[in-house]
Structure 1
Amino acid sequence: MYSFEIVRPKSVADAVTALGGEEAQALGGGQTLIPSLKQRLASPATLVSLTAIEELKGVSSEGGVLTIGGGTTHGTVAAETASSYPALAALAGNIGDPAVRNRGTIGGSLANNDPSACYPAAALASGATIVTNSREIAADDYFQGMFTTALEEGEIITAVKLPIPEKAAYMKFEQPASRFALVGVFVAKYADGVKVAVTGASEEGVFRWSEAEAALSSDFSASALDGLSVPADGMIGDLHGSGAYRAHLVAVMTKRAVTAAG
């Protein structure tokens, strides 16, 4: 590690002010940033911890929309959405291990936008709205590529709004050591159609599989996906699996998610 300053503001306004300083970076649960600091992949002069800001925490539901504070941990999401959005609760409850789930936050995950993270698939398939200290961003506009989002410098995710679907499920084929998704597919059925979001597979990060959405909107069954596939071009290839392997898994995990959603 190296020397740096750390501040713990008590309000979003104070955090935004602190992030306006030179070489300042927000710190949520630290599950990605702290390892990056240890490896010298990041070296901010000041860390602005968001953990003391109570207004960033909590889960509420109103009018068919679930609102989760950006500083809410995965463990809290898993516990407090079990009855309102079971598919999201199951996703959150299977992230990492207990230590990660008790520290990592939904806002931190979405801000980082790791190409194998689980929450981006849930947000994209749910047609979520990402709320920041200055605006609201539709999920379709928010995710812009691997580790890339619409967030501007110093912008903080304060909440995530997710319309609750009629049916939904998330299926993850995980890398056993990290428990990140080699391929994860979130399927959500709404009155006006079905959304399918895929994480872990593409070099461009999380994406919607429009061909599967069209088929499932007409017939919400695993058999509706027979014969459909995503191209291997542009899929991640590494020591865990080739691009063709991941492309195959996309179809398999989508079918499993539809079956699980019922």
Structure 2
Amino acid sequence: MIPPPFDYVRPGSLDEACRVLAEADEAGEDVKVLAGGQSLLPLLRLRLAYPSALVDVGRLAELRGVEDRGDHVFVGALTTHDEVLRSEVVRELVPLLALATATVADPAVRHRGTFGGSLAHADPAGDLPAVALALDCVLVVRSGEGEREIPAAGFFVDYLESALEPGEVLVGARVPKLGPGWGFHYEKFHRTAQSWATVGVAAAVRLGEDGGVVEEARITLTNMGPAPVRARAAEAALVGVPITPSGPGSLGSGGPASGGERLRHACDLADEGTSPPTDLHGDPAYRRHLARVLTRRAVVAAGR
């Protein structure tokens, strides 16, 4: 549990951090960016990562904060999970982010762990990558060559692999406001409060003006593949399905064409196209079952 040796650099500005990272890239060095450290430090202690240096950006105030910018909310990369949870802007304008953040680990981790660190770490079992994908967030990154924007759909590449290039720092994310008619929920199954999600479901559902029929749905799955997965088949099947506040047991009556049966059928498509892992917490068949059940719960809760 002792990390390998590494150099430590603490830049005083974002520009300096980008310069240090660019120089390290030119020299062929493996350098990691350190923010809150709640994901990176365990990898170091387990010797699953061997960086030659850590660039600590944790004190760069320019990367911290939450702002309402009209059609979206901008969340700085160094904003801690606790700060996200306490933000009225987040709770009122992008509530799905608040719902998922509340499930991250425990209060101690949430006081140190950062919004951007969770995204850049690109762990498919992490809660926030699924939210970023469901909300079509745009991630803003900076390097010595300037800024660029990466849609969430192209940011999470593979297991612990993002689209960040060497020398780039995640600045923050633009989180779109979905507006009236949308409901949100994050449903997660995990064995203990501190453990990663066995399976999680981020659901955003837009109901029609009558308030009971799904017009659009966004469903993203946590830990059902090497990156967060949009459940496209379930999303398409949910369109036109009625939802009532009473829960799935009363979503209509009668035969197979009833609301309840249609909801179950749509949510049973949630695991289509996924490749869930096998580990101590469950095999693929178990995770597929969880994905279907949790999707149904999340959709019903989002539609209330």
TM range (shorter): over 0.9
Deviations 1:203-233 (A, max 9, x none): x221100011112233363644322332597
Q: Structure 1 residue 47 and structure 2 residue 54: aligned? A: yes
Amino acid at match of 1:55: E
Aligned CA distance change for structure 1 residues 12 and 6 (closer, same or farther; 3 Å): same
Aligned CA distance change for structure 1 residues 232 and 162 (closer, same or farther; 3 Å): closer
Amino acid at match of 1:193: E
Over aligned residue pairs, what C-alpha RMSD do you find? 1.9
Matches within 5 A, 1:191-202: 193-202=216-225
Aligned CA distance change for structure 1 residues 16 and 120 (closer, same or farther; 3 Å): same
Q: Contact conserved, 1:232 with 1:247, CA < 8 A, in 2?
A: no
Deviations 1:40-99 (A, max 9, x none): 222222211111111110011232311100111111111112222222112112211112
The residue that corresponds to 1:95 in the other structure is 104
The residue that corresponds to 2:197 in the other structure is 181
Q: Contact conserved, 2:32 with 2:51, CA < 8 A, in 1?
A: yes
1:226 aligned residue (235, 249, 264): 264
Aligned CA distance change for structure 1 residues 63 and 25 (closer, same or farther; 3 Å): same
Deviations 1:7-51 (A, max 9, x none): 222221111111122332110111111111112222222211111
Q: Structure 1 residue 122 and structure 2 residue 144: aligned? A: no
Other structure's SS at 1:214 match = helix
Measured in 2, the distance between the counterparts of 1:172 and 1:145 equals 21
Q: Structure 1 residue 5 and structure 2 residue 13: aligned? A: no
Other structure's SS at 2:17 match = helix
Q: Contact conserved, 1:123 with 1:139, CA < 8 A, in 2?
A: yes
Amino acid at match of 1:111: A
Deviates more, 1:117-126 or 1:74-83: 74-83
Q: Between Structure 1 and Structure 2, whose CA radius of gyration is higher?
A: 2
Q: Contact conserved, 1:18 with 1:24, CA < 8 A, in 2?
A: no
Q: What TM-score, normalized by structure 1, do the two folds share?
A: 0.92
Alignment gaps of 5+ in structure 2: 208-214, 249-259
Matches within 5 A, 1:95-244: 95-133=104-142, 134-165=147-178, 166-176=182-192, 178-189=194-205, 193-202=216-225, 204-219=226-241, 221=243, 223=260, 224-227=262-265, 228-229=268-269, 230-231=271-272, 234-244=275-285
Q: Contact conserved, 1:236 with 1:243, CA < 8 A, in 2?
A: yes
Other structure's SS at 1:116 match = coil
Measured in 2, the distance between the counterparts of 1:118 and 1:131 equals 19
Amino acid at match of 2:12: K
Aligned CA distance change for structure 1 residues 190 and 162 (closer, same or farther; 3 Å): farther
Deviates more, 1:109-118 or 1:19-28: 19-28
Aligned CA distance change for structure 1 residues 18 and 220 (closer, same or farther; 3 Å): farther
Residue identity over aligned pairs, in percent, reads 38
Deviations 1:234-253 (A, max 9, x none): 22122211101100111111
The residue that corresponds to 2:20 in the other structure is 18
Q: What TM-score, normalized by structure 2, do the two folds share?
A: 0.80
Measured in 1, the distance between the counterparts of 2:292 and 2:16 equals 46
Measured in 1, the distance between the counterparts of 2:42 and 2:206 equals 38
Other structure's SS at 2:111 match = helix
Q: Contact conserved, 2:201 with 2:291, CA < 8 A, in 1?
A: yes
Q: Contact conserved, 1:122 with 1:197, CA < 8 A, in 2?
A: yes
Measured in 1, the distance between the counterparts of 2:219 and 2:131 equals 9
Q: Contact conserved, 1:7 with 1:47, CA < 8 A, in 2?
A: yes
Following superposition, the deviation at residue 148 of structure 1 comes to: 1.8
